[in-house]
A and B are shown apart, each in its own frame.
Chain A
């Protein structure tokens, strides 16, 4: 039975009829990629498992109503949503642990929100400015214009692998520029993994 599923699109159409085999095939095909991705975002096995499991469970529960054009993209953005939710929990916990020391902020909620966005936005812009020229261009096309590596390779007439290299390299540099926004959030796995 499973061997007859060839493409993701086939799998999705079987899934909408409630076919468990199709679901299992999707799981077999994607669990590892999604788990690796989740691990790299939440950094903790327990949380990564939870994120991925929720993605699949949600897919199953809503199999009748979901409209999926590209299964891979759908799943990756579902992981993104789950990972951000998990990171959000981490920040909340961390904030709670520190709230005994912290003084109450006098800023209004809206102002804080705007400031946070401006701060992040500034860090991103500064980060992009600091990228090497080629990397900067490719990073902009990829992350701001949302062009795929292949599209960029066609546009700039350079090999796709080179584009991929530049994206990875630029991401690495940006990671350095944005590091305050990433792992100052981190707390021990134990607390974050609580359900």
Chain B
């Protein structure tokens, strides 16, 4: 399964498109029949009654929207009607306008997003040369860098909170597990339930960078097809605190790494006490385990001997990289960043027990 997930996915795809043969269909049917999953722990828990009511309310509102669209579906030979010819001409005009706006005045829009969704919103821009704070209706705080623009609604939907960002900003999002918060920027979408993170749009270098301060953040690129703009299937990455992802617009690649100054994770308060990082003859394995926990990072060591090295040091004043530098100096090792992990290499220490 591990190795052949891709193939399995293809099989599933073909099943969903009704392109499987009888044997394949049977295998998937049997497999489906055996699935019996336990509910996730920690998932938002609604009572069944709440689920029933919520679903029905949503259905009711969507039923009528979809009916309206339904009514617009014209009868046969509609294109021969004068009205439709006129409408087509208008649509063409509108399209070319949107086209013009998106390609000529590119910087007023979010790439990959339809213009219309954005223009109805409140536009908060930072024309000053200092950072500017915006508070949204749900209590979320957004700090815009100079030159940045945020499009946001007066009130958010019941289902999700959507904003659009041009430029750079730091987001401190009020927790609301029922209503995810979505930030659309050029080419990518960042989705959270309640956390803080920063988005940097670097058009010159053709990249977008999202870095996480607290909580979990999900980032994915926008689909080419607007209708599926946030639909899944085009992948994405889940980021935890102190991680960042850089999305390269041209190659459409994500690269995950650590933020420049990793901070002690909010919920790991016990690690904030200075004495936590004062070590007297502690084995390296213990020191590294503490660092991993406090900063939410993974640290690997090239050989086991290194883990037996003994550390006596006061690391309470330094940031993560400072701490690592002191450790490495003490045991004659080196560390490097590989994606979002830290690798420590060294010869190990002579047994000095």
- The chain A residues found within 8 Å of chain B, CB to CB, are 20, 23-24, 27, 31-32, 35, 39-46, 49, 52-53, 56-57, 60-61, 80-81, 83-85, 87-89, 91-97, 99-100, 105, 107, 109, 111-117, 119-121, 124, 143-144, 171, 174-175, 178, 180-186, 188-191, 193-195
Assess A194 versus B8: contact at CB under 8 Å? Given A57-B59, A61-B66, A84-B16.
Answer: no
Which one of A94, A95, A121 lies within 8 Å of B23 (CB-CB)? A121
Assess A49 versus B51: contact at CB under 8 Å? Given A57-B66, A84-B32, A97-B237.
Answer: yes
**B45 interface residue per 8 A CB criterion:** yes
The 7 closest A-B pairs by CB, nearest first: A116-B7, A43-B37, A112-B7, A96-B235, A113-B10, A189-B40, A89-B232
Assess A109 versus B30: contact at CB under 8 Å? Given A53-B55, A115-B4, A175-B36.
Answer: no
Chain A residues within 8 Å of B58, by CB: 53
Closest to B191 in A: A194
**A116/B236 in contact, CB under 8 A:** no
Interface class of chain A by DSSP: helix
**A178/B16 in contact, CB under 8 A:** no
> Please, how many angstroms separate the alpha-carbon atoms of A186 and B36 in the complex?
12
Q: Mark B36-50, 1 if CB is under 8 A from A, else 0.
A: 111110111110100
**B232/A45 in contact, CB under 8 A:** no
Assess A120 versus B27: contact at CB under 8 Å? Given A27-B59, A84-B32, A97-B238.
Answer: yes
> Please, how many angstroms separate the alpha-carbon atoms of A87 and B13 in the complex?
11
> Please, how many angstroms separate the alpha-carbon atoms of A143 and B4 in the complex?
25
Chain B residues within 8 Å of A53, by CB: 55, 58-59
Which one of B11, B38, B231 lies within 8 Å of A195 (CB-CB)? B231
Which one of A23, A119, A189, A190 lies within 8 Å of B4 (CB-CB)? A119
Residue of B13, B37, B256 with most chain A CB atoms under a 10 A cut-off: B37
Which one of B27, B37, B56, B237 lies within 8 Å of A42 (CB-CB)? B37
CB distance from B225 to the nearest CB of A (A): 14
> Please, how many angstroms separate the alpha-carbon atoms of A89 and B233 in the complex?
6
> Please, how many angstroms separate the alpha-carbon atoms of A43 and B24 in the complex?
24
**A175/B34 in contact, CB under 8 A:** yes
Closest to A53 in B: B55
> Please, how many angstroms separate the alpha-carbon atoms of A57 and B26 in the complex?
28
**B117 interface residue per 8 A CB criterion:** no
Question: What are 6 residue pairs bridging A and B, where the CB atoms are less than 8 Å apart in the complex?
Answer: A23-B63, A89-B233, A97-B238, A119-B4, A121-B27, A171-B33
Assess A81 versus B11: contact at CB under 8 Å? Given A93-B236, A189-B43.
Answer: no
**A46/B43 in contact, CB under 8 A:** yes
Which one of A52, A87, A95 lies within 8 Å of B6 (CB-CB)? A95
**B29 interface residue per 8 A CB criterion:** yes
> Please, how many angstroms separate the alpha-carbon atoms of A194 and B193 in the complex?
10
Closest to B182 in A: A195
Which one of B12, B66, B70, B193 lies within 8 Å of A88 (CB-CB)? B12
CB distance from B70 to the nearest CB of A (A): 7
9 new A-B contacts, CB < 8 A, other than A88-B16, A144-B30, A190-B238, are A53-B55, A57-B66, A60-B59, A89-B233, A96-B235, A112-B10, A116-B11, A190-B216, A194-B180
**B12/A91 in contact, CB under 8 A:** yes
**B102 interface residue per 8 A CB criterion:** no
